[in-house]
Amino acid sequence: MFAVADQLLGAYKIKVMCEDGKSRLGRIPGRIKKRMWIREGDLLIVKPWDFQDDKANILYRYTRTQATYLSRKRMIPEILDVF
């Protein structure tokens, strides 16, 4: 699911706005903590938790170039298209 980073909360937690309109607490898993630097406004791929719908794991961060490419190809939902 696509999401946009809204607010950095610290301790590898980020408030994200998902494509279904919900605001979730995103968590960067341990295997990608050091590899991924996320800023506010970045396009992300998240996976909501099965047992708590208000939380999600962050799987991938698109670069600015990749996000504009996806926006031009109209692959990003309208609610998230800020690029």
Six-digit token string for 46 = 């998240």
φ/ψ of 61, rounded to 5, equals -120, 125
Sign of the dihedral through C-alpha 63, 67, 73, 75:
positive
3-class DSSP assignment, residue 53: coil
DSSP letter string over 18-46? ETTS-EEEEE--GGGTTT----TT-EEEE
Question: What pLDDT is attached to residue 36?
Answer: 76
Q: What global pTM score does this model have?
A: 0.83
Question: What pLDDT is attached to residue 81?
Answer: 67
Task: Name the residue among 45, 29, 52 with its Cα closest to residue 77.
Answer: 45
- The one-digit pLDDT tens for each residue of the chain (83 residues) are 999 999 989 888 999 999 888 899 999 888 777 787 888 889 999 999 999 889 999 999 998 999 989 888 888 888 876 76
Domains of the chain: 2-72 (2.40.50.140)
